[in-house]
Chain A
Amino acid sequence: MYKWIQDIAASFPDKSIEIKPTPIQASEGDYFAKIALALKSKDTAPDIVTEDTFILNSDASAGYLEPLDDKLTGWEDWSNGSFIEALKKGVTASDGKVYGVPYNTDSRGLWYNKTLFKQAGLPEDWAPKTWDEVLDAARTIKQKLPDVVPFWMNMGKATGEATSMQTYEMLLYGTGERLYDNATSKWITKSQGILDALQFIQTINKEKLGPPLSKVLNGQAGNTSAREYLPQGKLAISLDGSWIPGNYLPNGAAPWPEYKDVLGFAPMPTSKGQAPGSITLAGGWALSIPSNSQHKDAAWEVIKYALNKENSKKLVIASGNITVRADVAQDPEYTAMPFNDLATAYLANAEFRPAQDKYPEVSTQIQTMVESVATGTSPADAANKYAQDVTRIVGDGNTIEK
């Protein structure tokens, strides 16, 4: 990404505008705190900021970001269908205004090692229809290949948002339930879906189908599974994001040329196979203009240039993310990247995290709940604690039980 920004800065036609990339050295969680502090003041606010779509709504409610609707109406790329319509939801805050232009997105599903599947006598072209089929495959692996971790999903507080989104929300949304009820504008604190999702996590751990807890409960868990276990053939199935192959590119963190042939990417089924059959959560990042920016118009020109078709394509190809532009999605250079077509296709059923400013806080409660179930708390107890904590965060009148 940094190299991409440097290229943009070098090739930007209007030389009177100076583009100065300022990378932030921080862990994922600290990034948002640092950004929030920088956006607060006119002296420190940058002119363009990269915003994760899950925090975008919070930062918009805080008044840190500039609504872009007026600017977007004058940009034909935005309205002529170049951007995938569904992804505009991710940058629209709860007040209905757009606060950023998305530049990448992602989808989630089941990565599996075909070599291990073959050894265990499972189909190499795997497409589970229900959670039970997923669990059965994991049980078969455990039985046939006892040294292999059958199934990995992030379950710790230390893996932060990955635990909330990749694990819990993928499960919860697959039961048909949601975190937030849009019809009543209330947070759902009790539902069968919550218990079912937690039950799945409990089963994985009770039957020892998952990784050792000492490995999965620390902040490095995501890297351990994607960069070590999966390529080394120590892990059969991983519930993870579409960006994983980015690690295996020649310039990635763990180059692995054979990944195209060894890995499979199956959609995550809904709990009992109910419509729409599979589920994915989509996130992604956007370029936004801080309210405290000193050069808003110039910033807008830069964003338009940076996220035109050519530059968008360069970014997603270099980073291994999936594109937010429909025209890039058709581009042969993009579709030639392994798994891009699959990952983009899963977006058809994409769900988003609630565009609510309390979401980041609720998310940390989700992580606590998931970790406590993984370490032995019963789903019912964990769910009760979650209900209490969420009620405290969003206020008494803003919750609903289903």
Chain B
Amino acid sequence: MSSLAVASAGRRRKTWTWLYFLLPSLAIMLVFFIYPIILTVFYSFTNLALTGEAAKNLKFIGFDNYTHMFEDPTVRTSIWNTLVFLIGSAVVGQQVLGFLIALFMKHKNKWFRRVVGTIVLAGWVTPEIVCALCLYSFFSDEGTLNAMLQSVGIPEVTWLYTVPMITIILANIWHGTAFSMLVFQAALDDVPSEIEEAAVVDGATKWQILTRVTIPYIKETITTNMMLVTLQTLGVFGLIYAMTGGGPGTSTTTLPIFMYNQAFVNYQLGYGTAISLLLLFIGIILSLFYIRSMRD
């Protein structure tokens, strides 16, 4: 009896120690993560503004910001632009291109891998804003691209004005592909060569090996990478803001740009936070979708 009591007391003490050690990080999470999220949710139901009458009188306005959001055609445009940017630059661009580069490099010698790898990585290690300025000067009216085209007699094209969405998609591909490449390189290296060799012996073509052996083998990596790249791309702001500022018109206004404009150009912080929650919501939906497809 007494030994049992000691044991359970000891176990209980252990439980508390565990919590005790976790407290600091819990406190940090609470202060820097949970609290701001709760505050954001709260502010999204208010008329919080940076200046003007509303800055003095914070009022609870219920779902006004949200109903307003669904009536605002610019919100729809921004959601659409965000999805186009996401699919173009993350899902198709970074993911597919990263995979192809990794595949292409798989059986090449070390020296070749290093050179290609370094070139691709250059885009990734460049800070977002520097990357934006580089590509801005590449695509701008008097930029490198037009200079190159003109040297072979092709007239100047106003890229940032005529095809702004394509320029920012290419910029984000340039910036982010290295991440996918590295992930896929690691995954492809893990595919046991015996399986592929067995397929060769069975008379499978290269395409069949790729689609029926290699890709199914790294399926989980593909989904994980898709999720990471998606979440990264959803939050891209500096790149687009510096290159096109969301324009011309609203043609490259994605949700982060729209949110910034509402909060810091129109000074409507309440509305801005509501939009940020919409962005969070889209991120959650997409993540759930990926996690689900991973389970299947």
Interface residues of A (CB under 8 A from B): 29-30, 32-33, 36-37, 40, 55, 58-59, 61-64, 156-158, 212-215, 217-219, 357-358, 360-361, 364, 371-372, 375, 392
Contacts and interface: CB of A to CB of B under 8 A. Distances in A.
A217 B51 contact: no
B53 A61 contact: yes
A217 B247 contact: yes
Nearest to A158: B245
A158 B51 CA distance: 21
Interface string B262-277: 0011111000000000
A69 to B, nearest CB: 19
A32 B248 contact: no
Contacts of B49: 62
A228 to B, nearest CB: 11
Given A156-B247, A158-B247, A29 B265 contact: yes
Among B49, B52, B55, the most chain A Cβ lie within 10 Å of the Cβ of B52
Contacts of B141: 214-215
Contacts of B265: 29, 33, 364
29 contacts: A29-B264, A32-B267, A37-B50, A58-B267, A61-B53, A61-B56, A62-B49, A62-B51, A63-B55, A64-B55, A156-B247, A156-B248, A157-B245, A158-B245, A158-B247, A212-B158, A213-B161, A213-B248, A214-B141, A357-B51, A357-B53, A360-B51, A361-B267, A371-B248, A371-B249, A375-B248, A375-B249, A392-B68, A392-B71
B245 A61 contact: no
B187 interface: no
A29 B158 CA distance: 26
Nearest to A33: B264
B266 A32 contact: no
Contacts of A360: 51-52, 266-267
B266 A361 contact: yes
Nearest to A55: B51
Contacts of A156: 247-248
B160 interface: yes
A189 to B, nearest CB: 17
Contacts of B55: 36, 40, 61-64
Nearest to A389: B72
Contacts of A214: 141, 158, 160-162, 248
Contacts of A219: 245
Interface residues of B, number: 25
Contacts of B261: 364
Contact of B247 (A29, A32, A37, A157): A157
The 9 tightest CB contacts between A and B, nearest first, are A62-B55, A214-B161, A214-B158, A357-B52, A58-B51, A58-B52, A36-B50, A33-B264, A63-B56
Interface in B141-158: 141, 158
Contacts of A62: 49-56
A364 B266 contact: yes
Interface of B: 49-56, 68, 71, 141, 158, 160-162, 245, 247-249, 261, 264-268
Nearest to A39: B51
B191 to A, nearest CB: 48
Nearest to B74: A368
B161 A217 contact: yes
Given A213-B161, A375-B249, A36 B68 contact: no
Contacts of B160: 214, 218
Nearest to B251: A375
A58 B54 CA distance: 9
Contacts of B56: 61-63
B247 A59 contact: no
A29 B141 CA distance: 24
A242 to B, nearest CB: 26
A61 B57 CA distance: 10
A215 B141 CA distance: 8
Contacts of B50: 33, 36-37, 62
A36 B247 contact: no
Contacts of B245: 157-158, 218-219
A364 B161 CA distance: 21
Contacts of B248: 156, 213-214, 217, 371, 375
Contacts of B71: 392
Contacts of A29: 264-265
A385 to B, nearest CB: 8
Nearest to B268: A361
B38 to A, nearest CB: 21
A59 B50 CA distance: 9
B159 to A, nearest CB: 9
A64 B52 CA distance: 9
